[in-house]
């Protein structure tokens, strides 16, 4: 007797514990195998690009906090760099070092969360997740010391940073840099050769190099596919050219490569942090800018290497107090472009892991 079956359509999301936010996937399944996948977005769309047009430039900065809410520092940095470029605002050296320190702590915190949730998605029920979140908590405590907030910082602003680093920050940061590498090594020993992670991640969700480049993918997702491209090296901003660090690159472009690249990036971030804290110059932490910045008419595009990829801001100014147009080049949104090709042929359980490995944040996807 032959069993007949037919493909059926299943909605994954928008409410789902493993879609990393309100991502909806319309999957067509043949048994457990995905034969068609369509991402449906917009569930977190809150017209931020429209909001930018009725806000002053300084008011735009906290709006960017809420796009990539797991990497608010780099979002603030990207928009600040763009506004500074547009308005010709210079940033003191100390402010740039502080920005680098905050960006790299942010990268660590974001990667901790991404790795933790990815391994959670693979079925390691919460233990590694809680370990990583415990580390991330220490970083969030430091951010709270610095700007008062744990998630949406509005700390990096056009001209520099909103306030200088408080004295208690340095003790906490140096203690963190002492302790965290030891624990990261522990987690590496725990996870790196774990058979389940290896089996669930190797050759799963392969993103070939040509598809990655054509799809405009960036960040660890692009580097996992073997493309050596990191804005901190290729187009350094914020004095990154002064720091020595490596850029890890994968080979196959599978989930394992993206996981490994993020892991390695955490080590490199620690290197940058040590150098930046050691070399932190004295001086002002910001240039005075008017509350209502009126840049000259014109346009600018500036981008940073956020934990998720190249985050860019395209600003068109008409000389007024608000941008005429502010478009966000959102890496999470664009990194979803090849998702369908990455999913087809895999099982539903792999879909969860593949989405986790792309490390998207829906606030940035939908804006």
* Interface residues toward other proteins, by CB under 8 A: 41-42, 45, 47, 49-50, 211, 213-217, 227, 229, 234-236, 301, 303, 310, 312, 314, 316, 324-325, 327, 329, 333-334, 336-338, 366-367
Least separation in angstroms between residue 93's CB and other proteins is 19
Kindly tell me which of 138 and 218 has the beta carbon lying closer to other proteins: 218
Find the DSSP H helices in 307-347: 331-335, 339-343
The whole-angstrom separation of Cα 151 and Cα 140 is 7
Q: Which of 89, 92, 83, 132 is nearest to 112 (CA)?
A: 132
CB 23 within 8 Å of CB 11: no
Kindly tell me which of 87 and 129 has the beta carbon lying closer to other proteins: 87
Kindly tell me which of 92 and 236 has the beta carbon lying closer to other proteins: 236
Least separation in angstroms between residue 337's CB and other proteins is 5
Locate the DSSP E strands across the chain. Answer: 8-12, 24-30, 33-40, 156-157, 160-161, 298-306, 309-317, 325-329
The whole-angstrom separation of Cα 116 and Cα 129 is 4
Least separation in angstroms between residue 348's CB and other proteins is 23
The whole-angstrom separation of Cα 92 and Cα 344 is 50
Least separation in angstroms between residue 250's CB and other proteins is 16
Kindly tell me which of 150 and 233 has the beta carbon lying closer to other proteins: 233
Task: Tokens for 26, please give them.
Answer: 């319309």
Kindly tell me which of 124 and 339 has the beta carbon lying closer to other proteins: 339
Kindly tell me which of 69 and 324 has the beta carbon lying closer to other proteins: 324
Least separation in angstroms between residue 1's CB and other proteins is 40
Question: How many helices (H) and strands (E) in the chain?
Answer: 15, 8
CB 345 within 8 Å of CB 204: no
Least separation in angstroms between residue 50's CB and other proteins is 6
The whole-angstrom separation of Cα 23 and Cα 2 is 37
């Amino acid at each position: 007797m032959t069993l007949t079956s037919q493909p059926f359509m299943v909605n994954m999301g928008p409410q789902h514990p493993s879609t990393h936010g309100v991502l909806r996937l319309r999957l067509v399944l043949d048994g457990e195998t995905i034969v068609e996948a369509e991402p449906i977005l917009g569930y977190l769309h809150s017209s931020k690009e429209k909001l930018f047009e009725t806000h002053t430039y300084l008011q735009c900065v906290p709006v960017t906090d809420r796009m990539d809410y797991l990497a608010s520092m780099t979002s603030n940095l990207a928009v600040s760099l763009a506004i500074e470029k547009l308005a010709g605002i210079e940033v003191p050296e100390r402010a740039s070092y502080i920005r680098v320190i905050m960006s790299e702590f942010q990268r660590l915190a974001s990667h901790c969360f991404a790795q933790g949730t990815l391994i959670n998605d693979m079925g390691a029920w919460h233990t590694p997740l809680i370990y990583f979140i415990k580390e991330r908590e220490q970083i969030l405590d430091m951010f709270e010391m610095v700007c008062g907030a744990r998630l949406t910082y509005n700390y990096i602003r056009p001209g520099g940073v909103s306030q200088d680093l408080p004295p208690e920050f340095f003790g906490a940061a140096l203690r963190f840099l002492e302790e965290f590498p030891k624990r990261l090594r522990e987690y590496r020993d725990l996870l790196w050769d774990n058979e389940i992670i290896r089996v669930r991640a190797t050759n799963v969700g392969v993103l070939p190099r040509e598809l990655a480049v054509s799809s405009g993918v960036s960040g660890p997702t692009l580097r996992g596919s073997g493309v050596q491209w990191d804005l901190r090296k290729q187009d350094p901003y914020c004095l990154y050219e002064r720091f020595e660090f490596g850029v890890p690159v994968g080979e196959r472009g599978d989930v394992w490569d993206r996981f490994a690249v993020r892991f390695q990036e955490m080590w490199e971030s620690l290197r940058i942090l040590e150098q930046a804290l050691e070399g932190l110059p004295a001086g002002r932490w910001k240039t005075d800018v008017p509350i209502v910045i009126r840049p000259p008419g014109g346009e600018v595009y500036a981008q940073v290497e956020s934990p998720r990829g190249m985050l860019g801001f395209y600003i068109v100014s008409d000389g007024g107090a608000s941008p005429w147009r502010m478009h966000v080049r959102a890496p999470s949104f664009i990194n979803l472009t090849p998702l369908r090709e990455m999913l087809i042929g895999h099982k539903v359980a792999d879909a969860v892991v593949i989405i986790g490995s792309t490390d998207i944040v829906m606030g940035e996807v939908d804006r």
